Amino acid sequence: MGARSGSVLVVGVGGQGVVLSSAVAADAARRCGFDVKQSEVHGMSQRGGVVTSHLRYGDAVHSPLIAAGEADAIVALEWNEALRALPALRPGGTLIVSVERILPPSAFLDRLHGALRYPPIAVDLLRGTVPDVRACDATAVAARAGDRRAMNTVLLGVLSRVMPFSETAWDDAIVANVPPKALGANRAAFAAGRALQADDARRALARLARSDEGGDARRAAASLEIVDAWCKGEMCGICVRSCPEYCLGFDAEATAVRVTRADACTACGLCELLCPDFAIVVHPAVPA
Ligand code: SF4
Ligand code: SF4
């Protein structure tokens, strides 16, 4: 990436923190004296839809949009969004990607037979197309650092290795943009991402390539973790109304969600994705 100009495309789905990631990177660029332009495109839904943010910096930037084949780096918070964004990457550019897979909401329409599932993983295709892939399971790394919700900041830590912004500028940008109560976890997540090595990326891709996702089988059952203190219960009820299998209801006081049909849960993850308060976590069953 050129020292005096560059462009970064940040992609993911709603609720993953695409806009915040781009804002932090833009702020870090400004703190290093660059002119910065940003542009965002939000998908069809507030959560679950595609979100894309263009970021360009340099001595003088006139357009915020990155043309096809001109992104120096892509930061992808979701695997399939990374594949979709590849045409934007310039030859020799860097792909920073979390191996996280989020099923598009349309896939839930055929949930019972599983004919529509996650698109092909295509790890080999990616390896053959992009020489510099820096992959990780950003959510797992963030969880080890203290808070799985800081997965976007793990990827910023990886990005910081390929951008000409000082560590001080990154840290100041994180402090300025992240809510104070989440600052510690985000700083730790950034440091963990910055520390990731090429071997970590190879292992993450190898694990993903071995995954059986992207096929036609129905997903395994899951266990659900509900944080009562964060759940607004009947005042919200988004997950209860959205669960395609009608697995969820409320407790006796209607102040928190309860699993009412555990056997019917397909581990689709929609409840976790849509919860505005991060009060529900889906743990897919580990195959025997
Ligand atoms: S409880 Fe959650 S993970 Fe299970 S089927 Fe319903 S929406 Fe999907
Ligand atoms: S979407 Fe979240 S906050 Fe709303 S009822 Fe479900 S678990 Fe509770």
Per-residue pLDDT for 194 more than 50? yes
Q: Start-end ranges of CATH 3.40.920.10 in the chain?
A: 5-210
At 112-140, the pLDDT tens digits run 444 556 677 778 878 788 999 999 999 99
Q: Torsions phi, psi of 80, nearest 5? A: -65, -30
Instruction: Count Cα neighbours of 280 within 13 Å in the Cβ-side half-sphere.
Output: 30
- Ligand 1 center from residue 271 Cα (angstroms): 6
Q: Residues of the chain with pLDDT > 70: what percent?
A: 86
Superfamily of domain 5-210: Pyruvate-ferredoxin oxidoreductase, PFOR, domain III (3.40.920.10)
- Ligand 2 center from residue 104 Cα (angstroms): 20
C-alpha pair distances (Å), 146 with each of 143, 175, 184 = 5, 17, 8
Best residue for ligand 1 mutational test, from 109, 223, 239, 243 (most atoms within 8 Å of Cβ): 243
Mean pLDDT of all residues belonging to the chain: 85
Of ligand 2's atoms, which has the minimum distance to the CA of residue 238? 1
Atom 2 (ligand 2) nearest CA: 275
DSSP string, 145-175: HT-GGGHHHHHHHHHTTTS---HHHHHHHHH
Residues with a CB atom less than 6 Å from ligand 2 = 231-233, 236-239, 257, 275, 277, 279-280
Per-residue pLDDT for 108 more than 80? no
Q: Are 93 and 133 in contact (CB under 8 A)?
A: no
Q: With a 6 A CB cut-off, is 16 part of the ligand 1 pocket?
A: no
Atom 3 (ligand 2) nearest CA: 231
Model confidence, pTM: 0.70
Q: With a 6 A CB cut-off, is 280 part of the ligand 1 pocket?
A: no
At 32-81, the pLDDT tens digits run 999 999 887 765 545 557 788 999 999 999 888 888 889 999 999 998 88
Q: CATH for 222-284, among 3.30.980.10, 3.30.70.20, 3.40.50.300, 1.50.10.10?
A: 3.30.70.20
Q: What is the pLDDT of residue 213?
A: 57
Rounded mean pLDDT, 7-18: 89
Rounded mean pLDDT, 86-94: 93
- Ligand 2 center from residue 237 Cα (angstroms): 5
Higher pLDDT, 274 or 26: 26
